[in-house]
Structure formats: structure tokens, C-alpha cells
Amino acid sequence: MRHYDKLSEVSYNPKITAWRFRVKIHRIYPFYSYVTSSGPFYTYVLADEEVRVKSSSLDFLITCLEKQEGKWVEIFRVEVKRSYPGFQATNSRFNLSASRHTQVYIIDPLNNRHFMDFKNIHAIPHMDHRDRNYPIDTMEVVFNTEAHFDAPASARMEFYIRDNIDSQIKFVATGAHAYAFRDGLENMKVRRQVIVVLKMWRVWKFWSYFGPPDLWLETEGRLSDFRFNPHLPEVEEFRQSLLHSDPYVQRYGAVGLL
């Protein structure tokens, strides 16, 4: 039986170049060189069978797989590098880097897990500053939207999400995400509440001398994503909890799975 390394056990050792993994491509996002403006290059967020996404996923730098998000792959002869400081797609201290000897094969799915780690909005204001260096997933009800499309270069869509009447937090979708969010919300064409799943958004927190700190979540390039009422067990469970606990939803209803 073929042996595979675990993402959670990865360490930096320049002498080891024969790491092998069996993983799911959880997220793909492009980036461009700040120096030469060349690109796009692609970063892949990987998750294996045992992973909790934010605890041991890894970035993977390679080309030719940019249309394979959601696929399971085998990766052979890949190198491990240390991650750069600053905002990262995962909280791993390492990333994987392909060489001319690296081999990647698409394989049959091992399971149907989505590897999303939903953060409760009650916990977001109390996150450690180090945890804010990594994107988060969350899921709540959309309300109180505000569109700003006067300047196409700085288009943004501001909205709030809540899990009940008293708890809410601000989100800002920018650029292409702003237009996609506006169009997606309009396509709901209902007066009932809409549940949105937000995938890999960045937390911003700024302290103020004159009041409580400003806190919001914002899209981070093409890393972030969102879905309205996706087919996830967590979404249906959340919708059912709203039907039993939220006065607004009890009155107007909540949109079910599409």
C-alpha cells in the first residue's frame, strides 16, 4: 500500500525532496508579481483526509491545475518551503513548492467533505491578532445592504450578516466580488431572508481613541468566495435553528436550499 505524508506533519528539511501527498484542492487563487507584474501565478490551498482546514492546510505553488478546484490529487516529489510573514491563506508555517521533478495526478474523490470551518460571528471580535492573519469562513443571514458603484475602479458592496436580532457584523465586497454579490442577491427575487456562506474572508480591526474598535470582514483578492443558500448540511441546520429562534424569520420565513 502506498504511503502518503500528512499535511499536519510537514516540516522544513532541505534534504527531503520526496514528499508525497493525497489531497483535495480546496481553493485556487491567482496572484501577480509585485516586481515584474508578470502572471498570473496560482496558489492552491490543500486539505487532506484528516485536516481541519485552518489547522494544517498548505499553500502549493504550481501551474497547469488552475481549473481543478475541488478535485482530489496525488502529488509526488514536492519540496517544503517556509511561509513568508504577513497575511496567508492558511496558518501553516510551511508551503509546498513544485520543482521540475514534481508529478501531479488527478484521482477519484475520497470523500465529499467541503473542509469549511465556520466561525461564529460572536467569536470574531475576540479573535487574537495572530489569527486575523488568516482568512475565515462564516455563515449567517444577509441584511441591510448598501451598494457603491459610482466609481467602477473602487466598486464595493457593503452588507451586514446576523445570526439573531442582536448579533451582527459588517462585510465589504470589493471589485468583481461586489458586482457578483449584488447580482446574486438580486437573483434571489424573494422578500424572505437569505443565508450566505462566506469562504476565506479577511478580518480587519482598527482601534479608535474615541470609541470601540472598528471591525469588519473584507474580500481578499480572488482568494475570497461566497455562495447563497448552498447545498450544505450546516446551512440547513442553521436555517432550521432560525425558524425556531429568530422572530423575523418566524414571521417572514428563511430561504431554503436551492
CA angle (212 as vertex; 210, 216 as ends), nearest 5: 125
Which top CATH class is 7-107? Answer: mainly beta
* SS3 call for 157: strand
In Å, how far are 38, 123, 237, 245, 258 from 242, measured between CA atoms?
47, 19, 9, 5, 17
Read off the C-alpha cell for 182.
449584488
For the chain, the straight-line distance linking the first and the last C-alpha, in angstroms and rounded, comes to: 41
Q: Round to whole Å and give the CA distance between 49 and 45.
A: 14
Q: Round to whole Å and give the CA distance between 81 and 92.
A: 11
Nearest in space to 180 (alpha carbons), one of 151, 219, 209: 219
Nearest in space to 198 (alpha carbons), one of 254, 142, 143: 142
- CATH 2.40.50.140 in the chain is located at 7-107, 124-252
The pLDDT score that the predictor gives to residue 58 is 46
Residues 6+ apart with CB under 8 A from 161: 121, 138, 140, 141, 142, 143, 168, 169, 171, 196, 198
Task: Give the containing element (helix H, strand E) for 245.
Answer: helix 233-245
Cβ atoms of residues 252 and 192 within 8 Å: yes
The pLDDT score that the predictor gives to residue 180 is 92
The pLDDT score that the predictor gives to residue 256 is 47
Helix, strand, coil shares of the chain as percentages rounded to 5?
Answer: 20, 40, 45
Read off the C-alpha cell for 90.
492558511
What pTM value is reported for the model? 0.74
The pLDDT score that the predictor gives to residue 174 is 92
Residues of the chain with pLDDT under 50: 52-58, 252, 254, 256-258
Which phi and psi angles does 134 have, rounded to 5°?
-130, 145
DSSP secondary structure, 18-34, as one string? -EEEEEEEEEEEEE--T
Cβ atoms of residues 161 and 169 within 8 Å: yes
Which top CATH class is 124-252? Answer: mainly beta
- Count CB-CB contacts under 10 A for residue 29: 20
Read off the C-alpha cell for 143.
441584511
Q: Round to whole Å and give the CA distance between 15 and 214.
A: 46
Q: Round to whole Å and give the CA distance between 99 and 77.
A: 8
Q: Round to whole Å and give the CA distance between 101 and 74.
A: 14
